[in-house]
Amino acid sequence: MAKTNPFADFDPTKMFDPKMFDPAKLFGDVKMPGVDMEKVVSSQRRNLEALTAANQLAAQAFQAIGKRQAEILRQTMEQTSQAMREVMTAGSPEQKAARQTELAKEAFERAIANMRELAEMVTKAQGEANEVISKRVSESLDEVKDLLVKK
């Protein structure tokens, strides 16, 4: 019997799907004097929408990063194969050693560039998701302040 990954079909973008979790149903019957529950529910709905948007951005970024890593791996395998052919066809032992040194330096520089590219992709994705959450937190605090001031 083949083992399968129980999380393979897990979609993190569905964690905070407003269709799955409806604040209006959860808080709809709650009555508090002086509190506009519709505004509270509406605020919580926007919070869930922001979390969903941030999760979608993160999921898209993970896919893009994974795709890029696969491309890097493919390129590295092709370049390694080419390098081996070059070293094997080089002339004297001195020429082979010199070519190996050049190839090692090129491979190191490509590896650094690839790591930098992936780090930039992660940083950009993290910034985009954080921006969505930060904006919503700020709006949410303004909403709470407005609710309290109107009391």
Q: What gap in Å lies between CA 91 and CA 82, rounded to an integer?
A: 16
Q: Name every residue whose Cβ is closer than 8 Å to that of residue 129 and which is 6 or more positions away in sequence.
A: 54, 55, 57, 58, 61
pLDDT score of 126: 94
pLDDT score of 92: 87
The rounded average pLDDT for each run of 10 residues, N- to C-terminus, in the chain (151 residues) is 61 57 56 68 88 93 95 95 86 86 93 97 95 93 81 58
Quote the tokens at residue 100: 């190996």
Contact 123, 147 (CB under 8 A): no
Cβ burial, residue 57 (10 Å; 0-12/13-18/19+): buried
Contact 87, 99 (CB under 8 A): yes
